[in-house]
Copies of this chain bind each other. A is one copy, B any other.
Amino acid sequence: MEKVVFGVDLGGTTVKLGLFDTEGNVLDKWEIPTRKEDNGRQILPDIAQAVKEKMKEKGYSDENVSGIGIGVPGPVDSEGTIYKAANLGWGVMNINKELGALTGLTVKAGNDANVAALGEMWKGGGKGYRNMVAVTLGTGVGGGIIVDGRLLAGATGAGGEIGHIHVEDGEQEACGCGNRGCLEQYASATGVVRLAKRALAGSSQDSMLRSGEISAKTVFDAVKAGDTLAMEVAGKFGEYLGKGLAVVAGVVNPEIFVIGGGVSKAGPVLIDYIRKYYEPNVFHGSRNAKFALATLGNDAGIYGAAKLVLS
């Protein structure tokens, strides 16, 4: 009998859904809006309905479906309990049970960054590895850690929250998490912009960055054009991230780091800046860890969610 699995990536604006065979081939892919009204109480029923409609359309019975995997924007423990999803208005809830009751199917939930990491390991930049750290450099810095093929969820679902490791004692501004000096304040897209603005303000050096709006993209474009000040900014970014990942490696000793998110579009030059500070600061047992760019883009979440069910 044909077996399929649903992979769901629940975001603040849209829910991405994928239908996969058990080998990880995409059979279908679509989106529905995330309805956040009433503290997001329509979200899971909407997902259940979307899944049921797709099953009907394709002629699948419950026996054809191995389950639904779902990545959600908040800390999720290994039993599928989410502790809070501020973006969605959700409080504590067991997603495996709630969505399971709505669909009659097996459900496995995980944190979205962790689930995306699993996707990259299965079909993306980390394919073939079993010990991996995924780093997502977007608006924030997310992380997902895979140990011996399994997601590291942590005691309260906060495993792999590497954006909030402390890397700078001198920081005056608060991070979104309330602390000061978190990795995210320097290595995210907004972090790179902050570093660039500080560099511009602290120097009178000529730079391409002095005209137009500054973004992580304009900074790394300027780096590629040989702009000295932009290269200094990239150096600071690389120092924070390289040293931070050296510490992460000291803890979990991965085979590979897979770097994704908007900032990673800068390409291989990003990895050069990271490695420059990673190598001299890491324990020798992890010095040969590989660095690769993520390859699945926005689809990493649905792949990983499907894999949650299959692994």
CB pair A154–B179 under 8 Å, yes or no, is no
Stretch from A25-33, A118-126, A250-258, A300-308 contacting the other chain:
A250-258
CB pair B253–A283 under 8 Å, yes or no, is no
CB pair B253–A284 under 8 Å, yes or no, is no
The count of identical subunits is 2
Cross-chain contact of A253 among B148, B158, B280 (Cβ < 8 A): B158
Q: Tell me the nearest residue of chain B to A288, going by C-beta.
A: B156
CB pair A285–B158 under 8 Å, yes or no, is yes
With A152-B147, A179-B281, A284-B177 known as contacts, the answer to whether A251 contacts B157 (CB < 8 A) is: no
| Category for how many chain A residues contact B | 35 or more
CB pair B251–A159 under 8 Å, yes or no, is yes
Q: Which A residues fall within an 8 A CB radius of B?
A: 75, 78, 83, 131, 143, 145, 147-148, 150, 152-162, 164-166, 177-179, 181, 243, 246-248, 250-255, 280-286, 289
> A161-B250, A162-B251 are known contacts; what are 12 more A-B pairs with Cβ within 8 Å?
A147-B147, A147-B152, A147-B159, A148-B153, A154-B253, A158-B283, A159-B251, A164-B283, A166-B247, A179-B281, A179-B283, A248-B251
Top 8 closest pairs, chain A to chain B, by CB: A154-B253, A158-B285, A164-B283, A165-B250, A158-B253, A155-B255, A159-B253, A131-B155
